[in-house]
A and B are shown apart, each in its own frame.
Chain A
Amino acid sequence: MTAIAVRRPALRRPDVSLRALRVWQRNRDVYLRLWKSELVWPLVEPLVTLFALGVGLGGLVDLGSGQSYIEFIAPGLLAVWPMWSASAECGWGSFFRMENQRTYDAIVATPVSIEDVITGEILWGATRALISSTYILVVISAWGLVDSPLAVLVLPLAVLPGVMFASISLSYTSVAWSISSLNYFFAVFITPMFWLGGVFFPLERLPEWAQRVAWWLPATHAVDVYRGLTSGNLEWSHLGDVAWILVAGVIFYNIAVLSMRRRLVK
């Protein structure tokens, strides 16, 4: 009798195909059906924040560099709102699809693999980030807060942090046991990055140790690059930021795939 070698699923190579796009299309179709309610939050919140912090608080702030406060925070917001969009989509959105709607179960019964599902989810999260980036870029350009035509490059580039944040978020979702346990991720990780990632004040204001911690936060690098692009002051260090985002994206994409497979393939 010949023994049949059974490979452990955890060691199997990820089985990703173009069918991931079918999952992306599914999410797009749902988004287009619900677009009104989906859009309210991302449309209103940036305007309110720019007005409150940029115009209101900004009047009291002198950065000493001649730059107005609203000009300072605009590129930062351009980086962190898409972070929120991608993270929320692959956090609450994905968890809800996976556990409450059992959408993943329905999809993997077809020739779409679980790896395709995860890839499609991340691509959709990145798309949400891109939609959000486009909107905010239009708003801050119209507001006259963009100094360089290089800012247009934010759009193709936005996919990279989009994939990274979607992958990080889905990695956490893959070990979340309930929808409320996602609060830990958003409270302890995403919200601090929003406030401390160099959006609202220059990181040099923080003590040395905090600056070193900030280097490890993904948002910091996205904020850096976007500042360079919107102001037109590009430096070699920005390439380092892009590389950081790329590497983190690849690492967390793989973590999301492996960890989700561990959770779902039983």
Chain B
Amino acid sequence: MSEIIRARDLVKRYGTFTAVDGISFSMRPGECFGFLGPNGAGKTTTIRMITCVSPVTAGELTVAGMDVRREPRRIKAILGVVPQENNLDPDLSVRQNLRVYGRYFDLPPRVVEERIDESLALFQLSDRQNDRIASLSSGMRRRLTIARGLINAPKILVLDEPTTGLDPQARHLVWQKLRYLRSQGVTMPITTHYMEEAAHLCDRIVIMHQGKIIAEGTPLELVERFVGRQVVEVHVGEGERGPLLDRLAAAEGLTAEEVEDIIYVYVRAENGFDAAALKLDAAKVVYRQANLEDVFLRLTGRGLQE
């Protein structure tokens, strides 16, 4: 099978509000596929339709060749889900959480116990297995939630903002585990706000905005296509900005954007920015690599999305 998840003209409406507005995408087996976008872009709604918990309003959505409308139970049997909010059972121990979850899949107890041992070891939770959830750090809870999502050895692991709220150490540990899972051939649809996370993990990305997909590609492609290689941030006084913007507009291979007190210059070519030629004081110029965040902000705007 060349595509494991396929959406065609997928729509989700809540009353008159359109949360997902006719999107199409397809995911290949073993791929880590990122959904990026500001709050309210429709990422989580899309994920909820894939996991068969939110009914599709219109369009087509299949998971492993099965229609989400017709075979939700069979689809959910091959999915692992890691939700945005931790919803572990606080009254049960670490091990009991996994055991109870395994039962929902009607797995034989012996298989579940074996998988629990493997999972606890993989996620470095073996010595905490009899502890209560309340005693775990947020990083451990996240790892446990991922371990729980893997209890049915899913073909597809759906991750909704897997590292939100974690400190850098905990985040890197989660990334390391997710990279390992990807190397094991698990398909991973993932939503995230963190561009670094997307660049780190995702083979391909779609950027969503107001319910639509506005760009698609590998992280590198997207950066090259929408931003270029380098970004120059220029801090100049109000009076100098107008003439500078005119000079930049005349220059070859540069795109300039004025945002409050900074001018961002996106540079297509290698060494394409010549500060001296633009009569710029070097102290006011910061050079850096173009990254996904630049793509994201250029495409979805810099306004606050609330």
Question: Taking beta carbons and an 8 Å cutoff, which residues of A are in contact with B?
Answer: 4, 6, 9, 17, 19, 22, 25-26, 29-30, 33-34, 101-103, 105-113, 265-266
Chain A residues positioned under 8 Å from B105 (CB to CB): 110-111
B58 touches A6 (CB 8 A): yes
Contact B60 A22 (CB under 8 A): no
List 21 A-B residue pairs with CB atoms under 8 Å apart, sorted by A's residue number.
A6-B56, A6-B58, A19-B104, A25-B103, A29-B96, A34-B91, A101-B90, A102-B83, A103-B89, A105-B83, A106-B89, A107-B104, A108-B53, A109-B76, A109-B79, A110-B101, A110-B105, A111-B77, A111-B105, A113-B73, A266-B14
Task: State whether the Cβ of B272 lies closer than 8 Å to any Cβ in chain A.
Answer: no
> Which 3 residue pairs are nearest across A and B when measured between Cβ atoms?
A102-B87, A110-B104, A109-B81
- Which residues 79-108 of B sit at the A interface, judged by CB distance below 8 A? 79, 81, 83, 85, 87-93, 96, 100-101, 103-106
State the CA gap A9–B54 with chains docked (Å).
10
B230 at interface, CB cutoff 8 A: no
Question: Which residues of chain A are within 8 angstroms of B106 by Cβ–Cβ distance?
Answer: 19, 22, 111
B72 within 8 A of A: yes
Assess A109 versus B103: contact at CB under 8 Å? Given A4-B58, A265-B54.
no
> Could you tell me the distance in whole angstroms from the C-beta of A106 to the nearest C-beta in chain B?
4
| Min CB gap B294→A, angstroms | 35
Q: Check B87–A106 contact: CB distance below 8 A.
A: yes
Q: Is B57 an interface residue (CB 8 A)?
A: yes
A109 engages B51 (CB within 8 Å): yes
Q: Which residues of A contact B74 (CB under 8 A)?
A: 111
- Say yes or no: B73 contacts A109, CB within 8 Å: no
Q: Please name all residues of chain A whose beta carbon is closer than 8 Å to the beta carbon of B57 when the two chains form the complex.
A: 6
Closest B residue to A100 by beta carbon equals B90
Show the binding face of B for A, using Cβ within 8 Å: 14, 51, 53-60, 69, 72-74, 76-77, 79, 81, 83, 85, 87-93, 96, 100-101, 103-106, 152
B145 to chain A, nearest CB (A): 9
Name the residue on B nearest A21 (C-beta): B103
Taken together as a complex, chains A and B put the C-alpha atoms of A4 and B92 apart, in Å, by 43
A33-B91 Cα distance, complex, nearest whole Å: 8
Flag if A113 contacts B96 (CB, 8 Å): no
Q: Which residues of B contact A110 (CB under 8 A)?
A: 76, 101, 104-105, 152
Query: Hey, which chain A residues are within 8 Å of B83, CB to CB?
Result: 102, 105-106, 109
Tell me, rounded to whole Å, the shortest Cβ–Cβ distance linking B153 to chain A.
Answer: 13
CB distance from A241 to the nearest CB of B (A): 37
Q: How far is the CB of A6 from chain B (nearest CB, A)?
A: 7
Residues of A with C-beta under 8 A to B72? 113
Q: Are A22 and B104 touching (Cβ within 8 A)?
A: yes
Chain B nearest CB from A1 CB (Å) reads 10
Whether A102 lies near B85 (C-beta < 8 A) is yes
With beta carbons under 8 angstroms apart, the residue of A9, A25, A111 that contacts B55 is: A9
Chain B: CB-nearest residue to A264: B53
Q: In this complex, what residue of B is CB-closest to A23?
A: B104
Extra 6 A-B pairs, beta carbons < 8 Å, given A33-B91, A33-B96, A110-B105:
A6-B55, A25-B100, A29-B100, A101-B89, A109-B53, A109-B81
Residues of B within 8 Å of A29, CB to CB, are: 92, 96, 100
Minimum CB–CB distance from A32 to chain B (whole Å) comes to 10
Give the distance in Å from the alpha carbon of A253 to the alpha carbon of B58 in the complex. 31
Partner of B54, one of A103, A107, A266: A266
Q: Please, which residue of chain A has its CB at the minimum distance from the CB of B100? A: A26
In the assembled complex, the Cα of A239 lies from the Cα of B51 at a distance in Å of 47
Closest to A5 in B: B69
B90 to chain A, nearest CB (A): 6
| Cβ-closest chain A residue relative to B76 | A111
Contact (Cβ within 8 A) A30 B53: no
